[in-house]
A and B are shown apart, each in its own frame.
Chain A
Amino acid sequence: MDWRTTSQTDSPLFGRLDGIQSVLDPHSPQAEAILSLGNWIFAGGTLIFIMVMSLLAFAILSRRRHTPLRSTTFIAILGFVFPAVTLGVLMVFTIIVSLRISEAPGEDALRIHVTGHMWWWEVVYEGPDGQPVETANELHLPQGRPVVITVTTSDVIHSFWIPGLAGKIDMVPGHVNTVSFTPTKRGLMRGQCAEFCGAQHAKMAFYAVVEPQERFEEWLARQASPAREPIVDLHEAGRTAFLEQGCGSCHAVRGLPGAEGEIGPDLTHVGSRLSLGAGWLDGSVGNLAGWIASAQHIKPGNRMPSFDRMDGPTLRALAAWLESLE
């Protein structure tokens, strides 16, 4: 199976993963603009801090009664003019950056809708034929094409944040927010819920894969297709176990009657995903089996019970079938 492992520092497909979730390693012009604004504020703030501390030290250590610090001109300049000018410049700079990062993308922009859940991400693409294509906990983005992501939530307030690509955007119940950016460098990035949303907030992450346009289109076409039919007996047994255990009440597997659930992530192509449990475990057959058997131990309080009453071969078959859904 073609698992692209993410736990190592070096990945054959994406190179080093050091900046995988870092605002300091921007992969879009929008993230670069935010980083440069941040750098200017940080550098300016450092200078001002040093200046204030020096003046404070001078005021404390100076034995002169009438220091130049007490003159009206000095106070007027450093106490009023300087902050007014500095904050004014900063405001203009911030407005320019804000306008730049919120520029409406063109009509050809890729549109993705993401819904936050406690604790995973539902991701819906517009398929090749205009039909919605549902996936979860993973974004695939074509390199160089503007992306518009609309976000909302099904429960509490979450925040959608891919530090390497754009700023945070809140996911508010009953409200749709929008963030847009153009990923320019290919690579693997990690996003994270940035608004405390409950006990497993820290385990609510996802991967974003920026890849060339053709690869993205292949991926989307594969995601739009229904689940593949089992070829071997093991996968057949796994599919039977899936239906018998009632997994279909919460999970959808397109093309499989009896699996139309909407509570949990769509599993039609779960075998192609990089992670399980929303960016928490690497995608692999072992992790699939472990997650099924002890989901409540790995991520306590999530909506999926631990299915720990299956016999070994059934659990293995179920995991193997899910892994085969690429």
Chain B
Amino acid sequence: MKACPRAAGVAVMVIVLALAGCEESAIPQGMRIIDGNPERGALLIREYGCPTCHTIPGIRSANGIVGPPLDRFALRAFIAGRHANTPDNLVHWIMDAPDMAPHTAMPDMGISEDQARHIAAYLYTLR
């Protein structure tokens, strides 16, 4: 029974390392946004009024019903049902949705590329 503390220590290490690995892979390789800060993204989401139209997990009073809900957005295959859900497409979409889908109801809200990156980074935390 003397080895028990050591075994427990090893087990804890294994779990910690496994969790660290999880953290590392939380955002899949193809969905990392360069220079994107999810926390700033969450602020910008509120500032630009995204919650008015979208239901967005983690954003206070974001229960809009005008556009599609954005829960598990990182797992969705398409943006607006027509464009692959890639970082480039998403950033472009946030900046100027009508440019990508002329019949969308989502307006061009004058969001800069830098801001769009932060917003996209937040959306890719939704799994």
Contacts and interface: CB of A to CB of B under 8 A. Distances in A.
Interface of A: 1, 5, 7-8, 281-282, 284-287, 289-291, 293-294, 297-298, 308, 310-313, 315-316, 319-320
A7 B46 contact: yes
Interface in B49-70: 49-50, 52-53, 64-66
B104 A282 contact: no
Contacts of B43: 8
A1 B48 CA distance: 13
A298 B52 contact: yes
B48 A286 contact: yes
A281 B104 CA distance: 22
Interface stretch (B6-14, B16-24, B26-34, B105-113): B105-113
B103 A312 contact: yes
B107 A282 contact: no
A305 to B, nearest CB: 14
B104 A297 contact: no
Given A1-B110, A5-B47, A8-B47, A290 B104 contact: no
Main secondary structure of the interface of B (DSSP, over half): loop
Contacts of B110: 1, 285
Contacts of B52: 281, 286-287, 290-291, 294, 298
Interface residues of B, number: 21
Interface of B: 43, 46-50, 52-53, 64-66, 98, 102-110
Contacts of A289: 53, 66, 105-107
A293 B105 contact: yes
Contacts of A310: 105
Given A293-B53, A312-B105, 20 more contacts: A1-B110, A8-B47, A284-B48, A285-B107, A285-B110, A286-B49, A286-B50, A286-B106, A287-B52, A289-B105, A289-B106, A289-B107, A290-B49, A291-B52, A293-B105, A294-B65, A312-B104, A312-B106, A313-B98, A316-B105
Given A294-B64, A316-B98, A286 B104 contact: no
Contacts of B98: 313, 316
A245 to B, nearest CB: 14
B64 A286 contact: no
Contacts of A281: 49, 52
B49 A287 contact: yes
Contacts of A285: 107-110
Contact of B66 (A8, A290, A311, A320): A290
Contacts of B46: 7
9 contacts: A285-B109, A286-B48, A286-B50, A289-B107, A291-B52, A293-B53, A293-B66, A313-B98, A316-B107
Contacts of B66: 289-290, 293-294, 308
A7 B107 contact: no
Contacts of A308: 66
Contacts of A291: 52
A297 B103 contact: no
A284 B109 contact: yes
Residue among A285, A290, A319 having the largest count of chain B Cβ atoms under 10 Å: A290
Nearest to A6: B47
Nearest to A297: B65
B37 to A, nearest CB: 15
Contacts of A319: 107
Nearest to B46: A7
Contact of A320 (B49, B65, B107): B107
Residue among A285, A286, A297 having the largest count of chain B Cβ atoms under 10 Å: A286
Nearest to A3: B110
Nearest to A8: B47
Nearest to A314: B105
Nearest to A316: B107
A282 to B, nearest CB: 6
Which are the 3 A-B pairs with shortest beta-carbon distances?
A: A290-B52, A312-B105, A287-B49
Nearest to A285: B107
B102 A313 contact: yes
Contacts of A316: 98, 104-107
A286 B47 contact: no
